[in-house]
Amino acid sequence: MTFGKENSISSLMNELQVESELSLVKVIALDDIEETEIGGFKIEYKEAESKFDVPRWVAYILVDKNLVKLADIGIELDVINSIANEKMLGVHKLSELKPDIYKKINFLLKNLRSKLDNDREKSFEYEKISTSVYDLINIRISKIISLASLPFPPDDIQKLITPEEYLLYDIVRLNIQDWRKSMIGEEQ
């Protein structure tokens, strides 16, 4: 994915958001769920405690109605492990993140935000997770900018960064290249 003048970062992020909302997530029925349809998506009858996949946007509605819970609750652990890995590596080294980690984080934080009303436990959990997420993002931004400034990027850069991070990397890399050229008088 190359960031060009015809694209804007917001439109590319919107595309990633749509892709995220349409991606499947595993949920667990909290109770029996009768056959139903949500926004054109049909859900067959599900017994309590059964696991099934639904698009992320459907999961958000089902979680909000207390019909299901997310089966993937390990995202908090993924964030903490990722922070530890990033701190161990050098400035020009990135650990590989799961490509959908930011989508999962976004979904989890949206879900927690919707349940914050006077719930101290949920507020504490939200603050703890969001602080860890900001730590991870800030560490990775610093490294991505550093890597973008290298004359020759690592061969495995696309393997190591998420699609959202690649947008940032590509924009910064192109701007640094243009700036360098203008400083030494090369035509762009």
Q: Assess whether 49 and 109 both reside in one domain.
A: no
Q: Which residues on adjacent β-strands are paired with residue 53?
A: 26
Over residues 81-102, the pLDDT tens digits come to 888 888 888 777 899 888 888 8
In the listed set 51, 71, 91, which residue is the last one of a domain according to the structure? 71
Mean per-residue pLDDT, 49-55: 90
Please give the pLDDT value at position 121: 80
* The total number of structural domains that make up the chain: 2
Determine what percent of the chain is predicted with pLDDT higher than 90: 27
Q: Assess whether 111 and 48 both reside in one domain.
A: no
- Say what the pTM is: 0.67
Q: Assess whether 23 and 66 both reside in one domain.
A: yes
In the listed set 52, 71, 90, which residue is the last one of a domain according to the structure? 71
Is the pLDDT at 69 greater than 90? The verdict is: no
Q: Assess whether 86 and 168 both reside in one domain.
A: yes
In the listed set 71, 92, 122, which residue is the last one of a domain according to the structure? 71
Please give the pLDDT value at position 8: 66
Domain contains 43: yes
Q: Assess whether 55 and 87 both reside in one domain.
A: no
Q: Assess whether 46 and 95 both reside in one domain.
A: no
Type of residue found at 85: N
Please give the pLDDT value at position 139: 93
133 lies in which domain range? 73-176
Q: How far is CA 87 from CA 62, 136, 160, in A?
A: 37, 10, 15
Q: Which two tokens stand for residue 85?
A: 């890995």
**CA 65 to CA 56: how far, in whole Å?**
14
Strand-strand pairing, 24-29 and 51-55: antiparallel
**Would you put residue 185 in left (φ > 0), alpha (ψ -120 to 50) or beta?**
left
Q: Assess whether 37 and 91 both reside in one domain.
A: no
Q: Which two tokens stand for residue 166?
A: 């690649």
Please give the pLDDT value at position 6: 46
**Average pLDDT over all residues of the chain:** 83
For the domain that residue 24 is a member of, what is the CATH number?
3.40.5.50
Over residues 160-169, the pLDDT tens digits come to 999 889 999 9
Domain contains 188: no
Domain contains 181: no
Domain contains 187: no
Domain contains 109: yes
Q: Assess whether 100 and 158 both reside in one domain.
A: yes
Q: Assess whether 86 and 163 both reside in one domain.
A: yes
Q: Assess whether 83 and 167 both reside in one domain.
A: yes
Mean per-residue pLDDT, 41-69: 88
Q: In which band, very low, low, confident or very high, does the pLDDT at 1 lie, cut at 50, 70 and 90?
A: very low
Burial class (CB in 10 A: 0-12, 13-18, 19+), 161: buried
Q: How far is CA 32 from CA 28, 150, 178, in A?
A: 10, 55, 59
Domain contains 115: yes
Please give the pLDDT value at position 187: 63
Q: In which band, very low, low, confident or very high, does the pLDDT at 5 lie, cut at 50, 70 and 90?
A: very low
